Structures are given as structure tokens and as C-alpha cells.
């Protein structure tokens, strides 16, 4: 357990400086080109987790790389009103290459990530809605900022310092993603920023003591930053006045072929993980950290998501596909490669770095055609996937897992980076 104990909770080393957002990470700690450079050979047993561009062909940063000197732009506009009359805003950041990210202060929802394919065609690669009304209704956390605790807690209860706490049960017998009114259902204060190389906003929210059953007043900030190298980063911070579990994450659904462009089974996925957390029939981890070797859960090399998803495996049956946490290979704290996702037809690539010890891969198993999203797209089975960087599910009830408990006087700090690019030349 020592290799990943408490990784990513504290001591990330970020500092405020003039010309940077207050929660940004120094340039020496964030990736500027490939997510998997040779210097980050943090390795699987017997295998080097090499740069995916070295494995599967030449990768580039898109057609507009020559314009990197231009400063990103930020637009702020109204996005509607909640049922109780609160005003909601939409922020759209565009960088020098033309990549565009839109997000709202309602639930920290990412409403769009628009990136070019190998032909230069720009499309939104996330699932979502055209207006605020879609996000106010029931949906499977499209683009949402998740808290106070991402993923599941068994039976909606945990014991901390000898006292049992009971949470809202909203996913079968378990608590999921912070409860009925998690961080995805609240209005965040937003402070936008711009400088020569990045733009975004700092979102802040104070969760009251007892909110959704969690102890302590939790003061949280999340900084969304888009840079000119097509990196979108999320920097999380939190403090508390009582001990409490904290596990924050982002729940965007991706389809790198484009929103509404079929299922994600042909996407090729690589995970920097030789172990995963098996679950019971309610998707609560058993406590085992199992090897992925010779199982459908082995993504140590790039594999099409659909290649093994229908194999007669008990874990796949429990999840209806992939809905599990992988244990990332790491040595100490700091950013490490987590995942690489490639859509062969478009050439689009998304790479993920994180300070977290795990990543939840969810293959859109519960999408069933009952939701109509933006531009009238009907989200059928597996039309999107989620890659959620986080601590492990049910950690408050699993003492052997890395701790998620934040105590007074400590600061929760975590960062995740999405890096977008294209692979292969456009056909002539």
C-alpha cells in the first residue's frame, strides 16, 4: 500500500503567482507535450508505459499549432435561471489552436469540449444538453463536478472517529456521487481569469456541516484552466472544520468521434494500471486489489473497448460492462500518466494525468436511448464513456485503501489534466 498511500490528497506544491490562476500548478509540474513522455516511465510489471505516440504512430497537436503565441479568450454570458430563481452563467474559453471549452457555474458542468480531428473538423466530444433545462432535470451526471464524495459508499453509511454517519441512499442500497443534492446540483461562485497562456475560472462553494449527511463545513475551490497546448486542467482544493471524507472528480462523458456519432466500442484505451478493484453485485469494492493479467480488465496496452466487453466474466456482469476503478502505477505523489483514449477514425486522442491513486472507467452501460441530448442526439447504449480520476470507492469503509479523510488544519489538493491531440495525417 505504501506505493500509493494518500497519493494526491496533500502537498501538490502549487503556489499562487502573478499572471496565473491562484490554484494553478507550476509549469515544471504540468505536462507541456506528450502525456506519456519517456521521463515518466512509471511502468507496469515487466512493461514500460511508453508514450502512446511511440507505440501507435505519429501524434501532433492539430492544424493550428503555429498560432500558439496568441492569448486564450474567455466569454461570460447568462445561461438561464434555476427553479428557485438563481441566475446561472456559462463560460467559454477558446485557446490559440481553436480548442474551445464551455462550462457553467451550475454544478461545475462542462457543457462542451470542442476539438479538431485529423482533417481539421471541429466537433464537440462530450455528451450533454443545449440548455440549462437539460442539466436541471434527471441525467447521469453529464459533465458534472462531483462531491462531496465521488463514487459509491456502501449502504450510505460510514464510521469516523467512533461515530456513524448516514448518507442519502440514491443508487440501489448505496450512496453515489455525494447524494441527492451533491456538488453537481448547486450554484458555485465563479471568478474568471485570463493571461497570456491560459484562461478559465475558479469555482468556489461552501458545503454546510451536515449537508447530505457529511460532517464538517467544507470550503471547496476548483480551478478550470485551458492552455494553448490543448490541456484542460482541474485543480481541486478543500478545507474543513471537522473530519470528513472528500473525493472530488469530474464526470464528463466522452465520445471522441463526436457527440452522437455512435458507440465508443472502437475507441482504443490504455490505462497505466496493473491492478483494479473487483466489486460485488452492487458495485462496492470487495477490498481486493486484483491483477488485470489474463482478464478483460487488462488495458496495459492499447485495446479496443469492445474487444472483450461481452466476455463471460463475473465482474463485467456486475457492471453491465466496465464500471470499475483501476489502481494507477505511481511512486510517491505528483502527476502520473493515467489513461490514453484514441478514436481511430477521427484520429482524436485524449490523454490524462492525475495526482489521484485511481481512475474509474465507466463504459456508458446504463445509457439506453431514453435521454435526448444536444442537437436532438439520442444517447443509445454506450454512446459515451467516463474516465473519472479519484480515490477508490467506499474508502471510508475500507481502512486498507488510501485514506479520503480530511481533517481540520489539512488541505485537500488534487489535480487532473486532460490533453487533446490528433494522431495520423489527414487523408489526401
Contact (CB, 8 A) for 352 and 338: yes
At 133, phi and psi to the nearest 5? Answer: -55, -35
Give the model's pLDDT for residue 69: 52
The active-site residue, picked from 267, 388, 391, 423, is: 388
DSSP E strands in 82-188: the ranges are 87-94, 100-104, 110-116, 122-124, 144-146, 152-153, 157-160, 163-166, 175-176
Task: State residue 173's pLDDT score.
Answer: 97
- Please return the burial class of 16, using the count of CB atoms within 10 Å of its CB with bins 0-12, 13-18 and 19+: exposed
Phi, psi of 28 (to 5 degrees): -70, -15
| H or E stretch covering 271 | strand 268-271
What integer pLDDT is reported at residue 248 of this predicted model? 98
| Number of alpha carbons in the 13 Å side-chain half-sphere of residue 4 | 24
Residues 385 and 420: beta-carbon distance below 8 Å: no
| Residues 103 and 70: beta-carbon distance below 8 Å | no
Q: Is 311 exposed, middle or buried (0-12, 13-18, 19+ CB in 10 A)?
A: exposed
CB-based contact 349:421 (threshold 8 Å): yes
279 near 286, Cβ under 8 Å? yes
Residue-level pLDDT at 43: 35
**Low-confidence residues of the chain, pLDDT below 50?**
1-58, 61-68
| Alpha-carbon span 297 to 275, nearest angstrom | 9
Cα separation values, 271 from 191, 263, 353, 385, Å? 34, 20, 11, 14
Domains of the chain: residue spans and CATH = 36-423 (2.70.98.10)
Catalytic residue from among 89, 139, 212, 251: 251
- The rounded Cα 13 to chain-centroid distance in angstroms is 21
pLDDT at 7: 36
Q: Strand 249-251 and strand 412-423: pairing? A: unpaired
Q: Are 319 and 365 in contact (CB under 8 A)?
A: yes
pTM assigned to the model = 0.86
Neighbouring CB atoms inside 10 A of 45's CB total 10
Q: How far apart are CA 13 and CA 412, in angstroms?
A: 12
Q: Would you say 404 and 16 are in contact if contact means Cβ atoms under 8 Å apart? A: no
The 10 Å Cβ neighbour count of residue 21 is 24
251 is catalytic: yes
Question: Catalytic: 56?
Answer: no
pLDDT digits (tens, 9 = 90+) for 268-301: 999 999 999 999 999 999 999 999 999 999 999 9
188-221 burial string, b = 16+ CB within 10 Å, else e?
Answer: bebebbebebbbbbbbbbebeeebbbbbbbbebb
The phi-psi region of residue 173 (left if phi > 0; otherwise alpha if psi is between -120 and 50; otherwise beta) is: alpha
pLDDT at 60: 53
Q: Are 406 and 248 in contact (CB under 8 A)?
A: no
DSSP state of 156: G
**Distance between CA atoms of residues 392 and 327, nearest Å:** 8
Amino acid at each position: 500500500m505504501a506505493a500509493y498511500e494518500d497519493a494526491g490528497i496533500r502537498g501538490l506544491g502549487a503556489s499562487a503567482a502573478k499572471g496565473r490562476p491562484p490554484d494553478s500548478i507550476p509549469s515544471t509540474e504540468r505536462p507541456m507535450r506528450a502525456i506519456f513522455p519517456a521521463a515518466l516511465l512509471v511502468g507496469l510489471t515487466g512493461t514500460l508505459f511508453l508514450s502512446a505516440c511511440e507505440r501507435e504512430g505519429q501524434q501532433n497537436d492539430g492544424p493550428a499549432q503555429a498560432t500558439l503565441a496568441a492569448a486564450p479568450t474567455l466569454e461570460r454570458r447568462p445561461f438561464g435561471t434555476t427553479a428557485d430563481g438563481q441566475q446561472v452563467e456559462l463560460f467559454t474559453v477558446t485557446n490559440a489552436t481553436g480548442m474551445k471549452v464551455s462550462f457553467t457555474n451550475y454544478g461545475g458542468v462542462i457543457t462542451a469540449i470542442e476539438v479538431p480531428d485529423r482533417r481539421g473538423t471541429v466537433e464537440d466530444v462530450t455528451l450533454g444538453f443545449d440548455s440549462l433545462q437539460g442539466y436541471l432535470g434527471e441525467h447521469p451526471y453529464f459533465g458534472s463536478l462531483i462531491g462531496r464524495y465521488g463514487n459509491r459508499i456502501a449502504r450510505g453509511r460510514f464510521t469516523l472517529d467512533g461515530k456513524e454517519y448516514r448518507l442519502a441512499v440514491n443508487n440501489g442500497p448505496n450512496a453515489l456521487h455525494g447524494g441527492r443534492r451533491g456538488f453537481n446540483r448547486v450554484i458555485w461562485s465563479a471568478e474568471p481569469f485570463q493571461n497570456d497562456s491560459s484562461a478559465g475560472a475558479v469555482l468556489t462553494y461552501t458545503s454546510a456541516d451536515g449537508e447530505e449527511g457529511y460532517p464538517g463545513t467544507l470550503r471547496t475551490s476548483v480551478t478550470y484552466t485551458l492552455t494553448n497546448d490543448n490541456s484542460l486542467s482541474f485543480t481541486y482544493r478543500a478545507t474543513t472544520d471537522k473530519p470528513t471524507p472528500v473525493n472530488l472528480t469530474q464526470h464528463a462523458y466522452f465520445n471522441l468521434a463526436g457527440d452522437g456519432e455512435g458507440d465508443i466500442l472502437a475507441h482504443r484505451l490504455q490505462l497505466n494500471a496493473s491492478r483494479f478493484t473487483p466489486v460485488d453485485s452492487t458495485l462496492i469494492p470487495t477490498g481486493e486489489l486484483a491483477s488485470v493479467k489474463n482478464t478483460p480488465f487488462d488495458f496495459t496496452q492499447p485495446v479496443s473497448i469492445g474487444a472483450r466487453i461481452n466476455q463471460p466474466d463475473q465482474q463485467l456482469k456486475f457492471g453491465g460492462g466496465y464500471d470499475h476503478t483501476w489502481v494507477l502505477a505511481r511512486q510517491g505523489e505528483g502527476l502520473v500518466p493515467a489513461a490514453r483514449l484514441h478514436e481511430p477514425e477521427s484520429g482524436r486522442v485524449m490523454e490524462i494525468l492525475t495526482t489521484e491513486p485511481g481512475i474509474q472507467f465507466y463504459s456508458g452501460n446504463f445509457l439506453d436511448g431514453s435521454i435526448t441530448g444536444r442537437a436532438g442526439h439520442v444517447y443509445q447504449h454506450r454512446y459515451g464513456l467516463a474516465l473519472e480520476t479519484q480515490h477508490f470507492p467506499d474508502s471510508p469503509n475500507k481502512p486498507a485503501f488510501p485514506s479520503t479523510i480530511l481533517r481540520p488544519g489539512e488541505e485537500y489538493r488534487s489535480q487532473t489534466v486532460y490533453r487533446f491531440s490528433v494522431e495520423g495525417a489527414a487523408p489526401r
